[in-house]
Amino acid sequence: MLIETGARVLRLLPPEAAHRATIRLLGAVGPLLPDATPDDPRLAVRAFGCDLSNPIGLAAGFDKDAEVPDAMTKFGFGLVECGTVTPRPQAGNAKPRLFRLPADGAVINRMGFNNRGMEAMAARLAHRKRCGVLGINIGANKDSPDRIEDYRIGFRRLAPLADYITINVSSPNTPGLRALQSRDELERLFAALESERVAAKVPLLLKIAPDLTEGEIADVADIALASGLDGIIATNTTIARPSTLRDANASESGGLSGVPLFQRSTEVLKQLRQRVGGRLTLVGVGGVSSGADAYAKIRAGAALVQLYTALAYEGPKLIARIKKELLNCLEHDGFSTIAQAIGADAS
């Protein structure tokens, strides 16, 4: 009850101030929070070598510096992904850079990978007692002369501290970064990481944009398979602005997340599933705010689902509600487990 009341008060603050205050509050009360209620066994899923009690994860962007991963796990997430973190600390873009679109259930951000750098994150995680499945999302510094080298450095430093690493080449807020999603650049990137991956034995995922063409999605899928990746996260925020947007902030530049992203991100997910089948773990992200939304991602091919924007609007009670609704969806369709529903709509 205290956390929910605090969440309502924090939403009265400007978006970035509310986010920073939320992290500080969780840092203070996190150790005092009770452990999450045990999940129904029907929600259990195995992905990239990890056993998860449920498929609902926290997307990157909320806990950029891995300050509160354990507190978020206690709210009932099956996995928590921290970052995006870069090799060197980075201030990000000029403020204001985070905008609520409440009329659309959406957010626009142009944060620009603001974070304290990989060494600060590594120092914090080195003292952490492992609690739940932790992913680390890594990026490149804006002014880096060799962005592929940044990913190699970040992977080497942080892989020993994570259950999996995500390569973020799809943020729209670092100029030129999305060019790394091209066939040639992805092949170069994965080749540069090969020796690090062999040594670390940590699963590697790639997070892609929703704005790719069908041909580009096919290229990403084929390269991911050829390179031995463990999974793809679909998707990051979009630079598109659907005509349905109503909020006054809709004209702000940056990446759009939340409800308006749901349809497109789910379509990308379905295209990936049709291309890779069950050979890669797919993670569905974009517009998830209910159990029905999460279930649609799963039926489209996702083994796991992540969210962030809806959490900002609804608070941590959302997680338990989604899991309850997800069980209702399974029962309605006659599935005994999550695994049985994966990809049911992708054929």
Per-residue pLDDT of the chain (347 residues; tens, 9 = 90+): 555 556 667 778 999 999 999 999 999 999 999 999 999 999 999 999 999 999 999 999 999 999 999 999 999 999 999 999 999 999 999 999 999 999 999 999 999 999 999 999 999 999 888 789 999 999 999 999 999 999 999 999 999 999 999 999 999 999 999 999 999 999 999 999 999 999 999 999 999 999 999 999 999 999 999 999 999 999 999 999 999 999 999 999 999 999 999 999 999 999 999 999 999 999 999 999 999 999 999 999 999 999 999 999 999 999 999 999 999 999 999 999 999 999 999 87
How far is residue 162 CA from its own chain's centroid? Answer: 14
Q: Which amino acid is at 260?
A: P
pLDDT (0 to 100) of residue 1? 53
Count Cα atoms within 13 angstroms, Cβ side, for 232: 33
Our CA dihedral for 227, 233, 234, 238, rounded to 10 degrees, sits at -110
CATH architecture label of 36-341: Alpha-Beta Barrel (3.20)
What residues form DSSP beta bridges with 282? 232
Helices 2-10 and 15-29, axial angle in degrees (round to 10): 160
What is the pairing mode between strands 98-101 and 106-109? antiparallel
Q: What are the phi and psi torsion angles at 69 (to 5°)?
A: -65, -35
| Residue 164 buriedness (CB in 10 A; 0-12 / 13-18 / 19+) | buried
Token reading at 227: 């390179």
Token reading at 106: 């959406």
CA–CA separation, 153 and 165 (whole Å): 12
CA–CA separation, 295 and 325 (whole Å): 9
3-state secondary structure (DSSP) of residue 303: coil
From the candidates 53, 144, 170, 171, give the one annotated as an active-site residue: 171
Q: What Cα–Cα distance (Å) separates residue 47 from each residue in 22, 54, 196, 253, 292?
A: 30, 11, 21, 35, 21
pLDDT (0 to 100) of residue 12? 81
Prediction pTM value? 0.97
Q: Find all residues with CB under 8 Å of 38, minimum gap 6, and list them.
A: 53
Domain ranges of the chain: 36-341
CA–CA separation, 178 and 133 (whole Å): 27
Q: In which element (H, E) is residue 135 found?
A: strand 133-138
- 171 noted as active-site residue: yes
CA–CA separation, 309 and 257 (whole Å): 7
CA–CA separation, 268 and 279 (whole Å): 17
Closest by Cα among 236, 264, 259 to 246? 259
Q: What Cα–Cα distance (Å) separates residue 304 from each residue in 45, 165, 206, 240, 312?
A: 8, 15, 14, 25, 20
Q: Find all residues with CB under 8 Å of 276, minimum gap 6, and list them.
A: 221, 224, 225, 232, 282
